[in-house]
């Protein structure tokens, strides 16, 4: 286990940055029948804090959120380790598909085999596709998450047999949400990678690591795989605060960061389209989820009129607070639904819902029989 580390306040504030978001169903989805009468058996999630429902509670790291005000709008006002005021996108997507209401963390020692069989999240807040990113924050790397998935398969097989386990794996959906930390926390903040990679070369490096993750999932039986692109990283409140010439007065997005995300997203789309073309005859449904466009609309376009605050979060000043800096002693807004972001990095449940509505055609395509 990695030891705790000591960092400066701004670095810690931005270190828990994990924006890529998954599909999020709205509240009505909880009472809808399964869309298209789909036969999805389970949901498995890999990635960072936007899809970590509490795995980091069981890791020796500073990057946790199992304390108020996180979870203030969750069932029972319970802080579970989710970095938001309510449900995560992964909770909402499994309820939309019709699997279950919440997707639990794999490392929860109290999970029953029945609960595990319908899906878990292996995600870890603070991680990235670059192995260095996970090392920086002492969290679970993507290769380690895949190792946990292999362990999971053995546990399920021992309980229900290999044939039934393989049937569950084949008809499940797989969600991968990762990459933002690699750029915001690692490449643009620390010197190590910049000494060896241009921005373009680093984008290729991150994409190559993602391709290996997808290949490993395919080899383990995954056939329905969705991958989110990067968000407009320059519009995250913490990024604005740390990179604006006048963070209080000038709250516009930082173009350098968002441009890097746009370029990477185009490369990612091309790669996913290529993979889908090569593997479609084997039953592949490999899907790209665009979260950049709808999120930038919520911040800069017509969608911004649905929120009172688009450039700082609900917790504390909203400029830097995230993770342990957003805590029970922090000031908290009275209505998180008026904010795009809950803390200085992570979105509110309302934002998740709007992102799902924009992404729903891609989600439906992936789960359609």
- Pick the catalytic residue from 52, 73, 182, 343: 343
Percent of the chain exceeding pLDDT 90 equals 82
Q: From CA 284, how far away is CA 67, in angstroms rounded?
A: 40
Q: Which residue shows structure tokens 């241009």?
A: 198
Q: What is the DSSP string of 116-180?
A: HHTEEE---TT--SSHHHHHHHT---HHHHHHHHHHHHHHHHHHH-HHHHHHHHHT-EEEEE--H
In this model, does residue 159 exceed pLDDT 70?
yes
Are 123 and 142 in contact by the 8 Å Cβ rule? The answer is no
Token output for 156: 């399920």
In this model, does residue 142 exceed pLDDT 60?
yes
Q: Which residue shows structure tokens 């915001």?
A: 184
305 among known catalytic residues: no
- When pLDDT is averaged across residues 281-298 and rounded to a whole number, the result is 96
Percent of the chain exceeding pLDDT 70 equals 91
- Pick the catalytic residue from 311, 312, 346, 359: 346
Please tell me the predicted confidence (pLDDT) of residue 358: 85
Are 120 and 105 in contact by the 8 Å Cβ rule? The answer is yes
- When pLDDT is averaged across residues 252-258 and rounded to a whole number, the result is 96
Please tell me the predicted confidence (pLDDT) of residue 43: 96
Q: What is the DSSP string of 181-198?
A: HIIIIIITT-HHHHTT--
Question: E strands of the chain, at which residues?
Answer: 43-47, 119-121, 173-177, 224-228, 285-289
5 among known catalytic residues: no
Token output for 319: 């400029």
- When pLDDT is averaged across residues 258-266 and rounded to a whole number, the result is 97
**Which of the two residues, 103 and 8, has the higher pLDDT score?**
103
Q: What is the mean pLDDT of the chain?
A: 90
Residue 152's alpha-carbon distances to 4, 119, 280, 305, 324, in angstroms, are 28, 10, 27, 44, 30
Candidates 169, 255, 172; CA nearest to 220 is: 169
**What one-character DSSP code corresponds to residue 50?**
G
Q: From CA 290, how far away is CA 63, in angstroms rounded?
A: 26
> At CB < 8 A and 24+ separation, what contacts does 328-336 make?
328/67, 328/68, 328/69, 330/69, 332/69, 332/72, 333/309, 336/72, 336/73, 336/85, 336/86
Are 91 and 101 in contact by the 8 Å Cβ rule? The answer is yes
In this model, does residue 45 exceed pLDDT 80?
yes
Please tell me the predicted confidence (pLDDT) of residue 44: 98
Please tell me the predicted confidence (pLDDT) of residue 215: 97
Q: From CA 322, how far away is CA 64, in angstroms rounded?
A: 10
Q: What is the CA radius of gyration of the chain?
A: 19
Token output for 11: 């670095």
359 among known catalytic residues: no
The mean-pLDDT minimum among 10-24, 198-212, 214-228, 230-244 falls in: 10-24
pLDDT digits (tens, 9 = 90+) for 71-129: 999 999 999 999 999 998 888 899 899 999 999 999 999 999 999 999 999 999 999 99
Token output for 99: 């699997």
In this model, does residue 13 exceed pLDDT 50?
no
Candidates 285, 223, 214; CA nearest to 47 is: 214
Banded model confidence at residue 352, pLDDT cuts 50, 70, 90:
confident
Q: From CA 159, how far away is CA 89, in angstroms rounded?
A: 29
Banded model confidence at residue 206, pLDDT cuts 50, 70, 90:
very high
Banded model confidence at residue 34, pLDDT cuts 50, 70, 90:
confident
- Pick the catalytic residue from 49, 65, 121, 177: 49
Banded model confidence at residue 36, pLDDT cuts 50, 70, 90:
confident
Residues 6 or more apart whose Cβ sits within 8 Å of residue 351: 21, 295, 298, 340, 341
Banded model confidence at residue 33, pLDDT cuts 50, 70, 90:
low
The mean-pLDDT minimum among 22-26, 194-198, 245-249, 282-286 falls in: 22-26
Please tell me the predicted confidence (pLDDT) of residue 21: 38
Q: Is the peptide bond before 218 cis (omega within 30 degrees of 0)?
A: no
Token output for 17: 């940055």
Q: What is the DSSP string of 219-242?
A: HTT--EEEEE----GGGSHHHHHH
Q: How far is CA 84 from the centre of its chain?
A: 12
Name residue 315's beta-bridge partners.
332
Name residue 43's beta-bridge partners.
119, 173
Banded model confidence at residue 353, pLDDT cuts 50, 70, 90:
confident
């Amino acid at each position: 286990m990695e030891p705790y580390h000591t960092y400066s306040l701004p670095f810690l504030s931005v270190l828990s940055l994990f924006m890529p978001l998954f599909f999020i169903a709205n509240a009505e989805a909880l009472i809808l029948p399964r869309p298209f009468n789909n036969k999805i058996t389970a949901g498995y999630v890999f990635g960072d804090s936007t899809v970590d429902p509490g795995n980091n509670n069981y890791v020796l790291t500073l990057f946790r959120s199992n304390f108020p005000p996180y979870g203030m709008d969750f069932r029972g006002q319970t802080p579970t380790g989710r970095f938001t005021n309510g449900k995560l996108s992964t909770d909402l997507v499994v309820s939309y598909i019709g699997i279950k209401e919440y997707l639990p963390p794999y490392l929860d020692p109290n999970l029953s085999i029945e609960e595990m069989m319908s899906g878990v999240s292996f995600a870890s807040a603070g991680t990235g596709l670059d192995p260095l990113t996970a090392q920086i924050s002492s969290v679970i790397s993507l290769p380690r998450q895949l190792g946990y998935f292999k362990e999971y398969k053995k546990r399920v097989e021992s309980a229900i047999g290999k044939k039934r386990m393989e049937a569950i794996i084949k008809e499940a959906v797989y969600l991968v949400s990762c990459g933002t930390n690699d750029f915001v926390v690692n490449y643009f903040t620390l010197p190590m990678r910049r000494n060896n990679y241009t921005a373009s070369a680093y984008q290729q490096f991150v994409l190559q690591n993602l391709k290996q993750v997808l290949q490993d999932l395919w080899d383990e039986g995954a056939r329905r795989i969705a991958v989110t692109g990067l968000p407009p990283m320059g519009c995250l409140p913490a990024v604005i605060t740390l990179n604006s010439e006048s963070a209080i007065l000038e709250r516009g997005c930082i173009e350098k960061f968002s441009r890097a995300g746009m370029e990477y997203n185009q490369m990612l789309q091309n790669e996913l389209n290529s993979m889908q073309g090569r593997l479609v005859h084997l039953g592949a449904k490999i899907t790209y989820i665009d979260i950049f466009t709808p999120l930038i609309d919520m911040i800069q376009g017509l969608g911004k009129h649905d929120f009172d605050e688009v450039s700082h979060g609900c917790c504390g000043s909203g400029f830097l607070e995230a993770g342990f800096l957003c805590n029970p002693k922090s000031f908290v807004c009275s209505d998180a639904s008026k904010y795009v972001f809950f803390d200085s990095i992570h979105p509110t449940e309302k934002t998740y819902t709007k992102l799902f509505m924009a992404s729903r055609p891609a989600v439906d395509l992936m789960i359609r029989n």
